[in-house]
């Protein structure tokens, strides 16, 4: 376009000024240039992708809005149907874009929880395995004492070529049933629930005991100083442990 030519230095400066003026989008033609100002509101996830499960991810001053889930665009009608729990499984299955399908399921889980997502696709899942972690009486103090405590059931299935797996659990203090998404590669409930736990690789052989509250874990290690010696890179190198080891180290859940 000749903008870097010294004979047209003023053209380049004007173009540079335009770029620095807060341009969000620009479409150029031979004799016309359409420019959009920056949005008045932008919402992103931790990876800086456009994202919001509560409303528009991008809003402009004229109130035009767009909806994204982890960077994937959803039509407003689709977004609102997921938000309001009115999207049917049949309508979801008709969607031809697999990326959009996955984004919808992701939004369902983040906004409405794993149990809602499980119910949405339950007709396509089958029970694979159940594991019961029998609790000693001393660990039942403060719980409902119900028969569901320590019972884990793995469900797996494939929905529109998307493998899925969930573990059904029960809250010891309320007996509320809930579902946790797990990697579909898990073959049994014991390993599946254990796969949610992660520990620094260098400390995986030094676990004294584990405590669990919902999806939150706390770990006590045999060598407390070993934790302090880990680098930031070591702390981010997390791995799961087997179901056998996990339940042998589990002191209590609440």
Greater confidence (104 vs 4) lies with 104
Domains of the chain by residue range: 6-110, 114-253
**C-alpha dist (Å) from residue 59 to 64, 70, 81, 161, 230:** 6, 16, 19, 34, 43
Mean pLDDT throughout 39-57? Answer: 94
The pLDDT confidence band at residue 104, using thresholds 50, 70 and 90, is very high
Q: How confident is the model at residue 38 (pLDDT cuts 50, 70, 90)?
A: confident
Which is more confident, 155 or 22? 155
Quick one: average pLDDT of 31-55? 90
Provide the percentage of residues in the chain whose pLDDT is more than 70: 88
The predicted pLDDT at position 141 comes to: 54
Residues 212-253: pLDDT tens digits?
Answer: 776 678 898 988 788 888 888 998 999 999 999 999 898 766
Contact in structure between 211 and 252 (CB atoms under 8 Å): yes
pLDDT band at 139 (very low <50, low <70, confident <90, very high): low
What is the tens place of the pLDDT at every residue in 184-220? 999 999 999 999 999 999 999 999 999 877 667 889 8
E strands along 72-194, which residues? 72-74, 125-132, 151-159, 162-170, 177-181
The more confidently predicted of residues 230 and 12 is 230
């Amino acid at each position: 376009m000749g903008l870097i030519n010294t004979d047209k230095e003023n053209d380049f400066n004007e173009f540079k000024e335009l770029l620095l003026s807060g341009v969000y989008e620009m479409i150029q033609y031979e004799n016309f240039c359409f420019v959009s100002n920056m949005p008045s509101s932008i919402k992103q996830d931790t990876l800086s992708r456009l994202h919001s499960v509560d409303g528009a991810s991008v809003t402009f001053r004229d109130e035009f809005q767009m909806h994204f889930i982890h960077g994937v665009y959803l039509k407003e009608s689709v977004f609102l149907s997921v938000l309001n729990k009115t999207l049917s499984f049949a309508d979801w299955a008709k969607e031809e874009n697999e990326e959009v399908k996955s984004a919808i399921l992701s939004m369902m889980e983040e906004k409405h929880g794993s149990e809602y997502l499980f119910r949405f696709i339950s007709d396509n899942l089958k029970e694979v395995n159940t594991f019961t972690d029998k609790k000693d009486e001393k660990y039942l103090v403060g719980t409902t004492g119900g028969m569901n405590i320590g019972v884990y059931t793995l469900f797996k299935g494939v929905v529109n070529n998307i493998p899925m797996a969930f573990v059904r659990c029960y809250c010891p203090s309320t007996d509320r049933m809930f579902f946790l998404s797990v990697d579909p590669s898990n073959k049994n409930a014991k390993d599946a629930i254990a796969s949610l736990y992660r520990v620094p690789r260098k400390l995986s052989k030094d676990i004294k005991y584990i405590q669990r509250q919902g999806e939150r874990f706390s770990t006590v290690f045999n060598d407390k100083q070993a934790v302090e010696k880990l680098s930031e890179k070591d702390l981010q190198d997390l791995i799961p442990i087997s179901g056998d080891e996990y339940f042998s180290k589990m002191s209590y859940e609440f």
